[in-house]
Structure 1
Amino acid sequence: MISEQNYNKLLEKFGDISSFAIYKESKNNDKATSENISYEEAIENHQKDYINPSNIILMVNPSAKREQSPDSNFSSFHHSNINDRHLRFLTMKTSTFWRNLYGSYVTDLFSDVVESVMDNLISAVKDDNKKDYRKQSYKKLIEQLEILSQDSKEEKLNIYVCGALSKSKRKDFIFFIEELIEEISENSDLNIELSFYAVYHPGYQNLKKLIQGGCEKIVKHSMKVE
């Protein structure tokens, strides 16, 4: 569980860009249904007690235009798009590692960049001229991790990096994680172990591949996916 104080702190500061992977049960047999998918319905169905601040599902960036339909009150990641529908099914209905991620905190690494094509996003934020932007993004994520760490039931935070399992994108994600770790070591008082895991991105794979796909630990000292 998460304390009311830290829940409200996250809600106030990051409630427009993040959420928790909790949902109301759907009566629809469709594997990727959007029925009852809203965060509000999850809260009304008493799912808040299942929040697990030890686990973080780290997406890359929003693919929908928030400026046209801004999120609030943790409504992010609870829409009818394929990414959110897949995430709901994986955390509620499968017997894979995803099932253990029910209740995880969900947020974006680059929450200000709206882009649905991963290659475009990576080329845009990895540019040398974007180093300051990346640092600001890392700081925003670190602040969220600092709040979550206060209620972690483990002596670590488990961060599941969505998209990092794709072989064509691993080097890019390793680059971002290395910079994130460097920012933490230089400018943060975060005093908890961070374990990073590479997983497929729910929105960029079909359900069969997601269900069959693995979860590989990112070894920090060598920065390799193993």
Structure 2
Amino acid sequence: MLNLNDLGSIRCVKESGTSSVFQVSLQARLCLMKVYHAIDKQPWHPSYREIDPYICESAAYGRLKEQGLCQQGIVPDFYGVIDQTNPMQWQPHLNKFLKDKHRPNSILLELIPNLKQIGLESYTENLAAALLSIIQQIHEAGICHCDPYPRHMVVQPETDRVLWIDFDRAQIFNDQSITDRYHSWKEDDPLMTAELLDFLAKDMKLGKLVHAWGYYYHYS
């Protein structure tokens, strides 16, 4: 497990209601640190799935690393976690976490510059095939992504590297104990991905988003 003393320079690059993302240096290497607001489990929260983004994403990346997908470069590399950070010790960067009931947890990920979500400007048949292949490998590793929208399917134009990112809704499963609900999630990921890619192929011919519009501006 890492700690704050392992980190160097820091710069906030993105904030949301669930997390803040920072660019940091780790052992002379730039990477991303994603810091999560902890979730208090409530009686009305579903018992059949994990809802805490940190637990979802750290478990998913741990499994992806273990199964060799990080090493393949088809998801960002995973460098570890930092648990139970005291926001007072890292000011002003963690100001937004001062009023939280629980201390935040973090994950450290590979920094991949200039990632572009899939769209009309980047769509190719090879890219579509790669994205479908990657989601299949993610499932074979025992993970449902559970959020298959364009913003999580990306390409680095300079290298043509294709990745799936953002696993903060992902669910972990084992084939021996998989439920009907997990079967449904496993079906949804590739079905929605295939539909999006089919819509984009049609929209390429039109020169504008029509069929795939909902995946960018409505469903997600």
Compare relative contact order (CA 8 Å, sep 6+) and give the higher one, 1 or 2: 1
Greater radius of gyration (CA): 2
TM-score, structure 1 normalization? 0.26
Structure with the largest fraction of strand: 2
TM-score normalised to structure 2 length: 0.27
